Amino acid sequence: MGGMLSDPGKDEKALTAFVTVLTRAFGEGSPVVGQSIKRRQKLAVVALRRIKSFERRGVSIEDRVHCIRDLAKGLAADRAEAGYPVGRLIADYQFLATELAGPPSRISLEERRRFYSNGSKKGQSALPQRRRSP
């Protein structure tokens, strides 16, 4: 996974978490994730790049629905570029995007800002930490 990003060490935890989400989606029957781990790793890189470019492309992280739609669009576009039809599968890409974005009620806006920004600090997880219920 590491060779596809400019600073792979910084994003390795996020990529690992994304591959885990994608593997779970595959186990639940997602038709768009792909059977091979390499395909899931590539999809994780596509998702991370898309998320990291939200700010530059004007996608407001405060608007979760917009983020999910944009991420789904990016995942589908990657698959379409590889020659696979997307069509009705867009709903499956939206589901994946929702899963990759994490549960909205448990991740604060500040945590999302930190995750979606390009400025992750060294030694800090790029993934938002879920809050535990009291």
User: pLDDT digit string (tens) for 48-74?
Assistant: 999 888 888 898 888 888 899 999 999
Token pair 């990003």 is at which residue?
Answer: 5
Token pair 């060779």 is at which residue?
Answer: 3
Task: State how far Cα 51 lies from the chain centre.
Answer: 6
Task: Say how many domains are in the chain.
Answer: 1
Which residues form the domain of 16? Answer: 8-116
Token pair 């400019």 is at which residue?
Answer: 6
In a domain, residue 2? The reply is no
In a domain, residue 132? The reply is no
In a domain, residue 46? The reply is yes
Please tell me whether the overall predicted TM-score, pTM, comes out greater than 0.75 for this model: no
User: pLDDT digit string (tens) for 94-115?
Assistant: 888 988 887 655 555 566 556 5
